[in-house]
Amino acid sequence: MSSEYSILPATEAEISQIAELERICFSDPWSEAVLTESLANPYYRFLVATDGAEVLGYAGMFLTLPEAQIANIAVAPVARRKGIGRELLRALCNAAQDAEAECIFLEVREHNLGAIALYEGEGFGLVGQRRNYYSNPTEDGLIYVKEIL
């Protein structure tokens, strides 16, 4: 794996690799069909971090203006703690700003401490908690928001 990577719009050719990462990273993965649909959705921003050969990470966001809602963000286990998740998150924040969104929401499992540290480090603040929102395992969902100035 090269340490060089670019953040680019996702393409159909990358969907099978993204679906594989979904299965590795989440207990309730999006299917290839749902991922392919989201590529075609004009209100969805879908980015990958790629070294040209492999997808190292990806992130997606619904633009439901005046809000944006991050739907997924994941980095391949071998590529973690190198700043790729942070760069993907910043790229989504920039896309939300370009679209003139006022704020960005996301939801995270209450015990996902790594992701929570990432979000809080990028200026997201806790605004709510949904009891038992997640299954496999059952867990509360924490709702975070970042205002776009």
Ligand X SMILES: CC(C)(COP(=O)(O)OP(=O)(O)OC[C@H]1O[C@@H](n2cnc3c(N)ncnc32)[C@H](O)[C@@H]1OP(=O)(O)O)[C@@H](O)C(=O)NCCC(=O)NCCS
Contact track, ligand X, 22-51, x by CB under 6 A: ---x--------------------------
Nearer to ligand X, 32 or 82 (CB): 82
- DSSP 3-state of 36: helix
Nearer to ligand X, 83 or 100 (CB): 83
From candidates 39, 86, 110, 140, binder to ligand X by CB under 6 A: 86
Query: What is the DSSP pairing of strand 103-109 with strand 67-75?
Result: parallel
Tracing tokens 């809080």 back to the chain, one arrives at 120
Nearer to ligand X, 5 or 15 (CB): 5
From candidates 32, 36, 62, 112, binder to ligand X by CB under 6 A: 112
Distance CA 93, CA 100 (A): 11
Residue 114 touches ligand X, criterion: CB under 6 A:
yes
Tracing tokens 């806790």 back to the chain, one arrives at 126
CB 22 within 8 A of CB 30: yes
* Span from 60-68, 82-90, 96-104, 139-147 in contact with ligand X (CB under 6 A): 82-90
What is the set of active-site residues? Answer: 107, 119
Q: Which residues, in sequence order, are CB contacts of 138 under 8 Å at separation 6+?
A: 132
Tracing tokens 């190198």 back to the chain, one arrives at 82
Binding site for ligand X (CB under 6 A): 25, 73-75, 80-86, 108, 112-115, 117-118, 121
